[in-house]
A and B are shown apart, each in its own frame.
Chain A
Amino acid sequence: MKKTLIIIFISLLFLSSCSGERNIEEEKKVVVYTSVDQHIAEEILNDFENETGIKVLPVFDIEASKTTGLANRLISEKDNPQGDVFWSSEIIMTLKLKEEGIFQPYISEESLNIPKSYKDKDGFWTGFGGRARVMIVNKDIFKNGEYPSSVYDLTNEKYKDYKKAIAYPMFGTTLTHIFVMSQNWGLDEAVQYFVDAQENNTLIVDGNSVVRDLVASGEIAFGITDTDDAFAAVKDGKPVEVIYLDQDSIGTLVIPNTVGLVNGCSNPEEGKIFMDFILKKETENKLIEMGFIDISLNDEEPDLKFLECDFQKAYENSDELLEEIQNALVR
């Protein structure tokens, strides 16, 4: 008898520790898969909970896996989706997910002011709040105040003696950047740009935050990164200057956050409410205040010169481009 009781007790203990599912069956909930930095996303998700009373169950990605962890999880869960909404800090994985049939269409009324090139025409995804590609420069190295400011400066002979960096163009926003370069210049030219940059004393590193850290520490003179990374260094009091790329010529690439409703999800209505919330001008403003984005896509006349692009078209040759990058870039 004693033995049986012990077995029952241990089994109950084990089962109770296994059942982590929260007792929120009755209350409304939405499962949000997000690759946005956790400290940023958490604040927005809290605001959403406070405003709507809908409980958010988030699944975060980590910077190291550049949204791929979540994208892979969504693809693998396609037959039995667990997420309701995917909120990404970039666009390429969103296009891949659309291609895989992960999203269902939903056009939010909050997205009407967003330019056409930043949303899917059928409503499978919607872009908002952009991060621009910027040049981050170490002011201690460029004491004369004449800073490099063009995407072409990585290949410019004038800067050959300066160490500089850009992230590896196989993931994240640099991947989007090379897709757009490929669309504007042609595939070979885009790949050649990275090869030339390497020959011109440019390091190809593992992420935009690495570019920032290298410039901030003075190990290199300048590099191309995203605004959120660059402004984090400014906030930390590092001796850096942030310059939007090519404002006197082609303009800078602005990479939007994207959001999509998961096909076959369990809470579609709550998912739509979440999408409406995230696409609101107020949410975009809050993200700007927090320093995560710096450009509103809701503005009719933005101050910044955008690089013209069509993300969907840029993505169409993705496989071929990726293979070329893999072949060309020495890692």
Chain B
Amino acid sequence: MLLLDKFRNKIFLKVLSAVILTIVLIPFLSILDLLVKEGITYKEILNIRRINLILKSVALSLSVALVSLFISFNCIIYISKKLKRYSFLIIAVVFTLFIISPYIHALSWIKLFGIGSFSFFKTLLVLSAYYSTINILILSVGFHSIDLSYIDSARIYKKDGSVIYNIVFKMLKPYWISSSALIFILVMSDFSIPSLFQLKTYSLEIFTYYTSGTSFSEIIYISIPLVILNITALIILIKYSKKMEFKKQGMNLFSNFNLNFNFFYKITTFSSIFILTIMFLVIFLNFIDSSNFKLAYETYKSNIEEIKYSFKAAFIPSLLSIMIVFILEKYSKNKLTKILLIIPILISGSLLGIALINFFSRFNIYSSLITSNTLLYYANTFKVLPFVYFVLKGTLETKDQNLLNSGLIYEKNWFRRLIKIEIPYYIFPLFSGFYVGFGFLTGEIASSILLIPPGEQLLSLKIYSYLHYGSSGKISALGLIIISFFSAITICLGLIINRKRRYFR
């Protein structure tokens, strides 16, 4: 029986690995195919102007990484220290920020304060608040892994403020370097927010080439400096993520002893919380300024189909991606496959969409693939794999393996084991991974615009199209609908999980 079970597992894993490889490799093959089809012509890649642009992009990306680190580090300490009972709810609210998508923030800023000035500052603020979610997730795992005895020893010799910033921060080095590298890559590749705020960056330059109908091979060619920088960041990310420890020490760092906060710490914490709060305020003020509840209700009614479809387009790929990453994390030790899970972060949405259409459209099955949402789900699953991977990898390892093994003694069948023991035990990390994937996909537009089936529409695309003719009332109404809709779901799920949390430990 045990042998048969092992055999089944082996077959199952092989099939699964083949599925993963197919999901990850086909887009790469499609891009190569596109390059071969179009041919490469030599063009000047770098000149003074582009060097300036790339330096500006690097400055923006590093600034976003630092500011979001500052916000999240302070917030997480404050939440752990002062609001532990409500910590899950607060984190859920912060997650909602991630769900809202940065361009709704950006639009609200534009409508309230105009677009012409302080573009770097506004882009920095919007993106920093957005990416604080990723930092909070990764840092919270780090906080759980710190050995309290080191902190206790340090507190004998140092003041609490020094302990936080000199010792705890240093101990968290692998975590914040990993998250900063991840955020660096994401900001370097993002063109939407800089474009909305009229901030000229290198990714916007590439997007401009795309919109002017330049050939894809040329676009790939001028993307080389960006790809080199992103690969460098990815190497740093992989290197430091290996140093991250996910052994839960059994208690939360700051909730169990009394740290005395000094004035400087209070100021930094206040400013961090204020920056996050202000994002909600801006969206809400924009709603009050240019919309009303009647319009919000009418907008909701006329967009029910879009909301449902957006939900489906984000839900199914997020579910698929957590299944893939979870099973791989649990059963496969193949490093190459895991690296392949991270690499999609380097591929832009537009390129992915074009490459997939280019590849699949030569087959007769293409019509069925595009009209049945399969290609949209496929691309979304591909794009969200790295995010889900980072979240799941961290949170899965914090779980006590001995406890799980004890439970597994009583159940030999892998499927029943999965359904009855492993999934309930890992429900919290799985939920986190799912939520991050769902949040990311709710705001995705680049590949969706190319792969959406005829007759369907996504909420994110609709908001973006409303931008053009300045229907600020509808935009702010949609912004509020999204916030209300996802906050309500998040808080309900949060409350349920929080109430049942003791069963999941």
- Chain A contacts to B: CB under 8 angstroms: 3, 6, 14, 17-22, 31, 37-39, 56-66, 68-69, 71-73, 76-80, 82-83, 92-93, 96, 168, 170-172, 175, 205-207, 209-210, 212-214, 217, 219-220, 228-229, 232-233, 236, 322, 326, 330-331
Contact B468 A210 (CB under 8 A): no
**Which single member of A22, A64, A170 contacts B467 (CB below 8 Å)?**
A64
Point out the residues of chain B lying under 8 angstroms from A233, CB to CB.
470
Contact B361 A331 (CB under 8 A): no
Contact A82 B370 (CB under 8 A): yes
A93 to B464, CA, bound (A): 21
Contact A20 B198 (CB under 8 A): no
Q: Determine the residue in chain A with the shortest Cβ distance to B114.
A: A217
Centre residue among A18, A71, A92, A220 by max chain B CB count within 10 A? A18
Point out the residues of chain A lying under 8 angstroms from B415, CB to CB.
3
> Which B residues from 370 to 386 make CB contacts under 8 A with A?
370-374, 377
**Which single member of A60, A92, A209, A331 contacts B469 (CB below 8 Å)?**
A209
**Which single member of A92, A212, A219 contacts B117 (CB below 8 Å)?**
A219
Point out the residues of chain B lying under 8 angstroms from A39, CB to CB.
466, 469, 471
Contact A65 B211 (CB under 8 A): yes
Point out the residues of chain A lying under 8 angstroms from B116, CB to CB.
214, 217, 219-220
B501 lies within 8 A of chain A by Cβ: no
B452 lies within 8 A of chain A by Cβ: yes
| B201, chain A: closest CB distance, angstroms | 10
16 chain-A/chain-B pairs, Cβ below 8 angstroms: A6-B419, A18-B377, A20-B456, A21-B453, A37-B465, A39-B471, A58-B455, A64-B192, A64-B211, A73-B357, A77-B366, A80-B364, A207-B468, A210-B115, A213-B115, A214-B115
A205 to B213, CA, bound (A): 18
Point out the residues of chain B lying under 8 angstroms from A170, CB to CB.
208-209, 211-212
| A72, chain B: closest CB distance, angstroms | 6
Known contacts A62-B449, A213-B470: does B211 contact A17 (CB below 8 Å)?
Answer: no
| A319, chain B: closest CB distance, angstroms | 9
Known contacts A21-B371, A64-B464, A233-B470: does B454 contact A83 (CB below 8 Å)?
Answer: yes
B248 lies within 8 A of chain A by Cβ: no
Contact A61 B449 (CB under 8 A): yes
Contact B373 A20 (CB under 8 A): yes
Point out the residues of chain B lying under 8 angstroms from A175, CB to CB.
212
- C-beta contact mask, B452-478 vs A, less than 8 Å → 1, else 0? 111111000110111111110000000
| A23, chain B: closest CB distance, angstroms | 12
Point out the residues of chain A lying under 8 angstroms from B350, CB to CB.
65, 69, 72
Instruction: Categorize the interface residue count of chain B.
Output: 35 or more
Known contacts A3-B415, A31-B454, A331-B200: does B208 contact A168 (CB below 8 Å)?
Answer: yes
B362 lies within 8 A of chain A by Cβ: yes
Contact A76 B465 (CB under 8 A): no
Q: Determine the residue in chain A with the shortest Cβ distance to B210.
A: A68
Known contacts A17-B316, A58-B455, A65-B211: does B357 contact A77 (CB below 8 Å)?
Answer: yes
Contact A330 B49 (CB under 8 A): yes
Point out the residues of chain A lying under 8 angstroms from B354, CB to CB.
72-73, 76
Point out the residues of chain A lying under 8 angstroms from B413, CB to CB.
3
Contact A18 B211 (CB under 8 A): no
Point out the residues of chain B lying under 8 angstroms from A322, CB to CB.
212, 214
Q: Determine the residue in chain B with the shortest Cβ distance to A31.
A: B454
Point out the residues of chain A lying under 8 angstroms from B461, CB to CB.
60, 62
A110 to B495, CA, bound (A): 62
A20 to B368, CA, bound (A): 10
B367 lies within 8 A of chain A by Cβ: yes
Contact B469 A206 (CB under 8 A): no
B268 lies within 8 A of chain A by Cβ: no
B110 lies within 8 A of chain A by Cβ: yes
A331 to B207, CA, bound (A): 12
B450 lies within 8 A of chain A by Cβ: yes
Known: A65-B449, A79-B362. 13 other contacts (CB 8 A): A37-B465, A63-B464, A63-B468, A64-B464, A64-B467, A72-B354, A77-B361, A80-B366, A206-B195, A209-B470, A213-B114, A219-B114, A331-B208
Contact A19 B362 (CB under 8 A): no
Centre residue among B413, B450, B461 by max chain A CB count within 10 A? B450
Point out the residues of chain B lying under 8 angstroms from A63, CB to CB.
464-465, 467-468
Known contacts A64-B192, A69-B450: does B213 contact A82 (CB below 8 Å)?
Answer: no
Contact B453 A20 (CB under 8 A): yes
A59 to B445, CA, bound (A): 14
Q: Determine the residue in chain B with the shortest Cβ distance to A209.
A: B468
Contact B462 A38 (CB under 8 A): yes
B53 lies within 8 A of chain A by Cβ: yes
Contact B454 A18 (CB under 8 A): no
Contact B470 A17 (CB under 8 A): no
B422 lies within 8 A of chain A by Cβ: no
A21 to B316, CA, bound (A): 16
Q: Determine the residue in chain B with the shortest Cβ distance to A30.
A: B454
**Which single member of A31, A59, A68, A205 contacts B211 (CB below 8 Å)?**
A68
B312 lies within 8 A of chain A by Cβ: yes
Point out the residues of chain B lying under 8 angstroms from A326, CB to CB.
209
| B109, chain A: closest CB distance, angstroms | 12
**Which single member of B357, B370, B469 contacts A232 (CB below 8 Å)?**
B469
| B84, chain A: closest CB distance, angstroms | 37
A217 to B114, CA, bound (A): 7
Chain A to chain B: the 7 pairs with minimum beta-carbon distance, closest first: A63-B468, A57-B455, A57-B454, A219-B116, A170-B212, A76-B357, A171-B211
B397 lies within 8 A of chain A by Cβ: no
Point out the residues of chain B lying under 8 angstroms from A236, CB to CB.
470
Centre residue among B115, B211, B353, B413 by max chain A CB count within 10 A? B211
Contact A64 B450 (CB under 8 A): no
B147 lies within 8 A of chain A by Cβ: no
**Which single member of A72, A79, A206, A213 contacts B361 (CB below 8 Å)?**
A79
Contact B454 A58 (CB under 8 A): yes
B205 lies within 8 A of chain A by Cβ: yes
Point out the residues of chain B lying under 8 angstroms from A69, CB to CB.
350, 449-450
A22 to B309, CA, bound (A): 13
Centre residue among A60, A64, A207 by max chain B CB count within 10 A? A64
Point out the residues of chain A lying under 8 angstroms from B49, CB to CB.
330-331
| A140, chain B: closest CB distance, angstroms | 14
B358 lies within 8 A of chain A by Cβ: yes
A61 to B461, CA, bound (A): 8
Point out the residues of chain B lying under 8 angstroms from A96, CB to CB.
213
Point out the residues of chain B lying under 8 angstroms from A66, CB to CB.
211
A78 to B452, CA, bound (A): 17
> Which B residues from 332 to 374 make CB contacts under 8 A with A?
350, 353-354, 357-358, 361-364, 366-368, 370-374
A85 to B78, CA, bound (A): 57
B416 lies within 8 A of chain A by Cβ: yes
| B41, chain A: closest CB distance, angstroms | 11
Point out the residues of chain B lying under 8 angstroms from A212, CB to CB.
470
Q: Determine the residue in chain A with the shortest Cβ distance to B222.
A: A326
Point out the residues of chain A lying under 8 angstroms from B470, CB to CB.
209, 212-213, 232-233, 236
> Which B residues from 205 to 261 make CB contacts under 8 A with A?
205, 208-214
Contact B372 A171 (CB under 8 A): no
Q: Determine the residue in chain B with the shortest Cβ distance to A72.
A: B354
- C-beta contact mask, B380-418 vs A, less than 8 Å → 1, else 0? 000000000000000000000000000000000101100
| B190, chain A: closest CB distance, angstroms | 12
A324 to B423, CA, bound (A): 59
Point out the residues of chain A lying under 8 angstroms from B374, CB to CB.
18
Contact A60 B454 (CB under 8 A): no
